[in-house]
C-alpha cells in the first residue's frame, strides 16, 4: 500500500509581522509533528546562529550552482543575499509521509503556489482587522491622515493574502500558533484527502 | 458596521456512527462557543427526555403545518415519525453572529447542502479507513466474504461523504471532538471569510 504523502505547509506574510517568532514557538512545542525545512542563505551567520540549525550557510557560487541544477523549491534575493528552500529535503520528507513546514517571504510563497498547488498556504497578518475595526468605529480621535494610511496598508494586505488558503491574525503568538495547529489538523480531515486515501485503499494500492 | 454572520456547522454521517455521543461531548465542554440547534420531532419523548432540551416534541399536525409554512431548514420521516430543524432559531442565531451546530441524518444534510452552500459539512465516519487498512494488509485470517462485505460498506461510505467538506473518523470520542473543534477554528481563518470581512470593513459597511 502506498504511503500517504505528507502536507507541505507554507507560512508567510508581510515583512515584520512576526513569522519567525511564531515559527520558533511552534517548534518549541513538544507535540509538534511536522518537520521544519531549514532555509539556505548566502548571508553571513549572525552571532549565535549555527549552520544546519538556523540556516544552511552557503557561498554565492554554491547557491547559484544549486539554482542552476533546479535544486531549490523557491528562492529570492534581498539586499544582496540569496535565500531559498532546498528541494531535496522537502521532497524526501513529504514522500516519507511527514508534513513539512516552511516559513518564507511572500515572493517565495508565490513561487511555490505555482509549483505545488496542493500545498497549504497560511498568511500571517498583523492584528489589523480587529484593530482597524475598533479604530474606524472608534472615538474619532485619529487624524484623517493616520486613518488613510491604515486603510492603505490594510488594502495592500488584502491584495497580498489573495493567494493564500488561510489568514491567521498575529494578535498574540500563542493564539496564532493554536490557530495554525488547528488549520493543519483540519486540513488532514478535508474530504478530498480522506476520500483519495479511501479510494486508493479500496483499489488495493 | 455589519455584524459578521455566524457559521452553520452540520455534523452528519452513517446511522450508528455515534453522532449523538460526539455532539453531547462537544456541548459538555465549557469552552464550546457555538450554539446547538435543537431538532423537532413527532415521536414520543423517551424516559428522561425533555421538551426544548433534547427535542421540541410536536404533534403531526403542528409539524406538517410548519412544513407548509416553510419553517424547517430540513426534515425527514423515519419509521412513521418526522424529524426536522426549525429554521427561525438557526437564522436568528446566525444573523446575531454566532455559529450554529446541527447534528442530523444524511438525508437532512443533503437538503441543507442545496439551501446553504456556505455551511460547513462534517462527515463522521466509522474508524474504518484505519481499521480496514490494517485488516486488508493483515494476516489473512478473515474469510473472503467478510473482507468483501467490509469493502462494500467502505464504498458506500465514500459515496456518502462526497457532499461533505471534512471527514472525521470516530475512532475515539475525544479525538473526534478535538478534530471537529479544530475544523471550526480553521474554517473561521479561511481566506475567503477573512478577506470578505476586510473588504466590507474597508468599504465602511
* CATH of range B8-37+99-202; options 1.10.287.1060, 3.40.50.300, 3.50.50.60, 2.60.40.1180: 3.40.50.300
Q: Do A136 and B204 touch, CB atoms closer than 8 A?
A: yes
Q: Which residue of A has its CA nearest to B176?
A: A189
Beta-sheet strands, E only, within chain A: 8-12, 35-36, 40-41, 56-57, 72-78, 81-86, 100-103, 120-125, 166-169
Q: What is the pLDDT of residue A158?
A: 81
Residue A17 annotated as binding site: yes
Residues A122-142, mean pLDDT to the nearest whole number: 71
Residue B14 annotated as binding site: yes
Query: What distance lies between CA A37 and its chain's CA centroid?
Result: 10
Q: Do A128 and A86 touch, CB atoms closer than 8 A?
A: no
Residue B17 annotated as binding site: yes
Residues A67-79, mean pLDDT to the nearest whole number: 92
Residues A16-39, mean pLDDT to the nearest whole number: 92
More confident residue, B132 or B65: B65
Q: What is the pLDDT of residue B158?
A: 80
Residue B144 has pLDDT above 80, yes or no: no
d(CA B41, CA B121): 22
Residue-wise pLDDT for A159-188, tens only, equals 889 999 999 999 899 999 999 999 999 999
Residue B94 has pLDDT above 70, yes or no: yes
Candidates A14, A30, A7; CA nearest to A159 is A14
Mean pLDDT of chain B: 88
Cβ within 8 Å, pair B133-A195: no
Q: What is the pLDDT of residue A166?
A: 97
Q: What is the pLDDT of residue B168?
A: 96
Residues B27-37, mean pLDDT to the nearest whole number: 93
Lowest-pLDDT range, A71-75, B55-59, B156-160? B156-160
Alpha helices for A96-138 (secondary structure H) = 106-115, 128-136
Phi/psi of residue A125, nearest 5 degrees: -115, 145
Q: Do B126 and B157 touch, CB atoms closer than 8 A?
A: yes
Candidates B56, B35, B60; CA nearest to B45 is B56
Q: Is B137 in CB contact (< 8 Å) with chain A? A: yes
Candidate from A158, A182, A185 with C-beta closest to B198: A158
- From chain A, the residues in CB contact with B201 under 8 A are 129, 132-133, 136, 154
CA dist A148 → A131, A144, A151 (Å):
14, 6, 5
Residues B156-176, mean pLDDT to the nearest whole number: 91
CB count within 10 Å of CB B156 equals: 11
d(CA B119, CA A111): 32
Q: What is the pLDDT of residue B40?
A: 96
Mean pLDDT of chain A: 88
Helices (H) and strands (E) in chain A, counts: 8, 9
Residue A104 has pLDDT above 60, yes or no: yes
Q: Is A152 in CB contact (< 8 Å) with chain B? A: no
Residue B139 has pLDDT above 60, yes or no: no
Banded model confidence at residue B199, pLDDT cuts 50, 70, 90: confident
Q: Which residue of B has its CA nearest to A159?
A: B195
Lowest-pLDDT range, A4-18, B77-91, B139-153? B139-153
Cell of B21: 455521543
Q: What is the pLDDT of residue B196?
A: 84
Strands A100-103 and A35-36, by their bridges, are: parallel
Amino acid at each position: 500500500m502506498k504511503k500517504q504523502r505528507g502536507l507541505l505547509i507554507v507560512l508567510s506574510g508581510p515583512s515584520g509581522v512576526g513569522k519567525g517568532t511564531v515559527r520558533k514557538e511552534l517548534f518549541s512545542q513538544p507535540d509538534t509533528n511536522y518537520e521544519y525545512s531549514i532555509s539556505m542563505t548566502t548571508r553571513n551567520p549572525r552571532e549565535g546562529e549555527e549552520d544546519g540549525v538556523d540556516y544552511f550557510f552557503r557561498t554565492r557560487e554554491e547557491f547559484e550552482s544549486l539554482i542552476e541544477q533546479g535544486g531549490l523549491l523557491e528562492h529570492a534575493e534581498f539586499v544582496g543575499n540569496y535565500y531559498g528552500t532546498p528541494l531535496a529535503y522537502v521532497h524526501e520528507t513529504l514522500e516519507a509521509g511527514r508534513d513539512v513546514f516552511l516559513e518564507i517571504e511572500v515572493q517565495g510563497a508565490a513561487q511555490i503556489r505555482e509549483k505545488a498547488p496542493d500545498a497549504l498556504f497560511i498568511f500571517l497578518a498583523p492584528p489589523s482587522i480587529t484593530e482597524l475595526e475598533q479604530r474606524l468605529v472608534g472615538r474619532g480621535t485619529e487624524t484623517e491622515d493616520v486613518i488613510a494610511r491604515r486603510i492603505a496598508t490594510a488594502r495592500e494586505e488584502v491584495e497580498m493574502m489573495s493567494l493564500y488558503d488561510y489568514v491567521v491574525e498575529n494578535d498574540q503568538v500563542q493564539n496564532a500558533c493554536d490557530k495554525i495547529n488547528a488549520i493543519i489538523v483540519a486540513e488532514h480531515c478535508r474530504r478530498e484527502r480522506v476520500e483519495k486515501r479511501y479510494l486508493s485503499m479500496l483499489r488495493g494500492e
